[in-house]
Amino acid sequence: MGKSKFLLATIIRKIYLSFLVIISIGPLIWIIMSSFKSNKEILSSAFALPESFSFKGYTAALELSPIFQFYGNSLIVAIASTLINVIVISMAAYILARCEFRGKTFLTLLLSSSLLVPTSALLMPIYIIMTNIGLYDTKTGLILVYAALGLPTSLFVIKSYFQSIPMELEEAAYLDGAGFVRTYYAIIFPLAKSGLVTAAILQFLTSWNEFTFALILTKSTTARTLPLALSYFTSQFSFNYTSMFAALTMAILPSIVIYALLQEQVTDSMVAGSIKG
């Protein structure tokens, strides 16, 4: 009886895990497979294996769009905006989480309320500001805008995390002679690693996938980012699926490889805070 129960549990677990693997990896494999097929094969038999492994889609994708340059720009913009966002906002979140001062609630509400402003309402004012301060068509402009766009989300995540850290730890640090700044950087910042990583991941993904501001605030290939490159493969009356899937493969594979190599560090940092806390 016990043996058959154990067997049943194992089977259910395996089915569940297989299901998760299929829905996670399935679309990726489909994209990679489609990048080797002709448009005709994709349209007529979407799930069949390619008739032959042709790299024409890859060469066409590289000819049609400056994908590698956009990829490099995306990396710089996403990493820089994430760093600025997390470093600056974590300091603000610490003050809002720990210090008592007049107007604190108002300030917190004001910063959080920017989450409610629709992107379309921000487009024109930000465009005008960027052109007037000379940051139109620069990566710096995009970095600053993305770092600011992620402000309410990061503030909310990091502030909540700071509030969950016991005050006694800071009091102990003060008793041992640490100042305000040292307490923050030596005690609180490492303890909040988990919250910071969460905010950083959200911010990175927002910057990596953003399309509208990248379109409006840039005009040259020196500043444009990856999501814009993918528009090169469909227009109102023409499309090239093979090249689009080849471009997608080139866009996603490096990220997957980097994550696979660094996953241990990422997972470590995710759980580190919970153990220490």
Partner 1 sequence: MKERLTKLITVILVCVLFAGLLAGCSSSGKGDDVATDTKKEEKTTEKKEDTESAAQTEESSGVVEINFPTSWVGVSSNTEWFNDRLAAFNEQYGDKIKVNVEEIAGDQAYVDKMKVLYSSNSLPDVFSTGGYNLIDSMKDQLVDITDYIDEEWYNSNSEVCWDVNSRDGRIYGVPYSRQVIGYFYNKDLFAQAGITEPAKTWDEFFEQCDKLLAAGITPLSMDTADSGWVTSLMLGAMIAQTEEGEEFMNTLQPKDYNREDFIQAATMIQEMFQKYTTADAVGGKYENAASNFFMEETAIIANGPWMVSDFYDENMVEAGFAEKVGTAMFPGGVMYNSGKIGFNFASKTEEKLKASIEFVRFLTSEESQKKLLEMTGDIPSNINVVSDQVYPLINEVIENGNKASRNINDFQSLWYANVVDEISVQYPLLAQGEITPEQFADALSAVAKVN
Contacting residues toward partner 1, per CB under 8 A: 38-40, 43-44, 64-66, 75-77, 79-80, 83-84, 123-124, 127-128, 131-132, 134-143, 212, 215-216, 219-223, 228-229, 231-240, 242-243, 265
Nearer to partner 1, 81 or 198 (CB): 81
Nearer to partner 1, 96 or 187 (CB): 187
Q: How far is the CB of 158 from partner 1 (least distance, A)?
A: 18
Nearer to partner 1, 108 or 138 (CB): 138
Q: How far is the CB of 67 from partner 1 (least distance, A)?
A: 11
- Distance from C-alpha of 262 to C-alpha of 160, rounded to nearest angstrom: 27
Nearer to partner 1, 30 or 232 (CB): 232
Q: How far is the CB of 2 from partner 1 (least distance, A)?
A: 43
228: closest CA among 239, 220, 236?
A: 220
Q: How far is the CB of 60 from partner 1 (least distance, A)?
A: 9
Spell out the SS3 assignment of the chain: CHHHHHHHHHHHHHHHHHHHHHHHHHHHHHHHHHCCCCHHHHHHCCCCCCCCCCCHHHHHHHHHCCHHHHHHHHHHHHHHHHHHHHHHHHHHHHHHHHCCCCCHHHHHHHHHHHHHCCHHHHHHHHHHHHHHCCCCCCHHHHHHHHHHHCHHHHHHHHHHHHHHCCHHHHHHHHHCCCCHHHHHHHHHHHHCHHHHHHHHHHHHHHHHHCCHHHHHHCCCCCCCCHHHHHHHHEECCEECHHHHHHHHHHHHHHHHHHHHHHHHHHHHHHHHHHHHC
Q: How far is the CB of 256 from partner 1 (least distance, A)?
A: 19
Tokens representing 219 are: 């005009």
Q: How far is the CB of 59 from partner 1 (least distance, A)?
A: 13
Nearer to partner 1, 107 or 201 (CB): 201
- Distance from C-alpha of 43 to C-alpha of 40, rounded to nearest angstrom: 5
Nearer to partner 1, 76 or 169 (CB): 76
Tokens representing 168 are: 């006694």
Q: How far is the CB of 70 from partner 1 (least distance, A)?
A: 11
Nearer to partner 1, 65 or 97 (CB): 65
